[in-house]
Structure 1
Amino acid sequence: MTLVRKMLFADDAALAAHSEKALQQLIERLAHACNEFGLTTRLKKTNVMATSSAYPLAITHWSCILLYCSETWTIYKHQERRLSAFYLRNLRKILGITWQDRVSNKDVLAKANLPSMFALLSQRRLRWLGHVVRMQLGRIPKDILYGELSAGNRPTGRPHLRFKDVRKRDLRSDNINPVDPEPYAADRDSWRVKVKKCVRLSEERRN
């Protein structure tokens, strides 16, 4: 008998099992527990991942933790490079690749079947941008994204990086109009396809 002892997030739960039958039993128990507390599970947001190795599961787990809320980060290029170095170092450890093997970072990503850290960050920020653009007027995230200070002066020297600056950098690198992305982002599905395609092309140019 398997008992669900702890749920870390009310809206995000992960279940792991060694067989399809065991996974189905876990899902049924989770659904029963949710019903007891008046909660519902959405099939639309439920994903199933099967793997014959522990590598993909381990990579997915720690990379999600590493990039939690990264879609809202205001991050400099040198910070992205440090994240990329940490990301690749852990991938090498998980895949059992040492520096003596003389394997390039590009080959490490290909073996893990994963995009680079730069592509992951850009894709997450652009998806979040599309989500905010489609929000109704009056929503706090949209007001903050489009808001401007009515008074005040910036201190002398180079201005601090803003989320708007990072957004423009992502849009330019992915050949999307940085001035008016709203027409592209209005439709969720087409925006996701466009972002995925643009990030892939940007990744190819980087390589």
Structure 2
Amino acid sequence: MEKNSKWSTISSTLDQQPQTPCHWILKSTRGWERHSQSCQNSPRVLENKHVTTQTKMSVYKVCVIGTLLYGSKSWTTYSLQERKLQVFHLRCLCRILGILWQDRVCNNKVLACADLPSMYTLLHQRRLRWLGHVHRMDDGHIPKDLLYGELATGKRSRGRPRLCYKFVCKRDLRVCNINTKSWETFAIDRTIWRQQVATSQQQTK
């Protein structure tokens, strides 16, 4: 089989080094600016006083969040990367709600006014839903083989190992107060698993 170091996705070309969420932050902000500049005869969407806050929130969730978290269900994110996503998320919400840093409004109040979860919650929810979906797959599917497979031979280099997807999923399970040893019993049923994830997310907000 011929080795291919690059492959194309819907919106970009990826190589062997996975792109961090910072790439998607930059891409989302540029996309938002291009959309705003295309409306030459009207103010930008976030600052347009003729657009209701509810409409701005709907556009933000569909366009910005949808682009920013595209493929996030399979991301292996470090805490620093998640914090950068959270900062971008809160900055956008403050612009939509017209909140300035001089107002000294805490982050939890901003999220409550926007009626949106934090970026941490969105990442946990998407990863855990995908985890349950992979667990329900039939044996032989590539995602399930990658999740449960282990190397029979090989030796890793010295030092701290890189963060892998399994460790991130275990971290999400602990944050959501889901037992890391018995989660598979809930994930068998799609409806029960989604309810379990949603309930756990509400408790950890």
TM-score, structure 2 normalization: 0.72
Quick one: distance in 1 between partners of 2:135 and 2:58?
33
How far does the alpha carbon of each residue in 1:26-74 deviate from its partner, in whole angstroms, 9 at most, with x for none?
xxxxxxxxxxxxxxxxxxxxxxxxx883222222121111111101000
Equivalence for 2:153: 151
* 8 Å CA contact 1:184, 1:191 repeated in 2: yes
Single out whichever of 162-171 and 177-186 deviates more from structure 2. Answer: 177-186
The alpha-carbon distance between structure 1 residues 152 and 140, as it changes in their structure 2 partners (threshold 3 A), is: same
How many angstroms apart in 1 are the aligned matches of 2:53 and 2:169? 38
Q: Please report how far the alpha carbon of residue 141 of structure 1 lies from its aligned counterpart in structure 2 after TM superposition.
A: 0.4
Letter in 1 for 2:191: D
Task: Give the deviation of 1:133 after TM superposition.
Answer: 0.4
Q: Which has the larger radius of gyration?
A: 1
Per-residue CA distance 1:71-92 (angstroms, 9 max, x = gap): 1000011111111011111111
Match of 1:113 among 107, 112, 115: 115
Displacement of 1:201: 1.1
Runs of 4+ residues deviating >6 angstroms: none
For the residues of structure 1 that align with 2:83 and 2:168, how far apart are their CA atoms? 15
Q: 2:57–2:96: 8 Å Cα contact kept in structure 1?
A: no
Aligned to 1:126, the other structure's residue is in SS state: helix
Query: In structure 1, how many angstroms separate the alpha carbons of the residues matched to 2:83 and 2:144?
Result: 29
Q: Does 1:129 align with 2:131?
A: yes
Structure 1 residues 170, 140: closer, same or farther in 2, change over 3 A?
A: same
What is the CA-CA distance between 1:98 and the residue it aligns to?
Answer: 1.0
User: Does the 8 Å CA contact 2:72/2:123 hold for their aligned counterparts?
Assistant: yes
Show the counterpart of 1:176. Answer: 178
Q: Which residue of 1 is the match for residue 56 of structure 2? A: 55
* 1:180, distance to aligned residue in structure 2 (A): 3.9
Amino acid of the structure 2 residue aligned with 1:72: S
Structure 1 residue ranges without an equivalent (≥5): 1-7, 10-50
Q: Percent identity?
A: 52
Distance 1:161 1:198, change over 3 A: same
More displaced stretch, 116-125 vs 167-176:
167-176
- After superposition, the C-alpha distances for 1:102-151 in whole angstroms (9 at most, x for unaligned) are 21111110111001111110000000000000001111100000010111
Question: What is the CA–CA distance in structure 2 between the aligned matches of 1:52 and 1:83, rounded to whole Å?
Answer: 22
Secondary structure at the counterpart of residue 160 of structure 1: coil
| Counterpart position of 2:195 | 193
Find the counterpart in structure 2 of residue 13 from structure 1: none
Name the residue aligned to 1:80: 82
Contact persistence 1:55–1:95 (CA under 8 A): no
TM-fit CA distance, 1:195? 0.3
Name the SS for the 2:156 alignment partner.
coil
**Residue in 2 that maps onto 1:139:** 141
**Number of positions where the alignment pairs a residue of Structure 1 with one of Structure 2:** 155
Give the whole-Å Cα distance in 2 for the aligned partners of 1:117 and 1:191. Answer: 21
Match of 1:98 in 2: 100
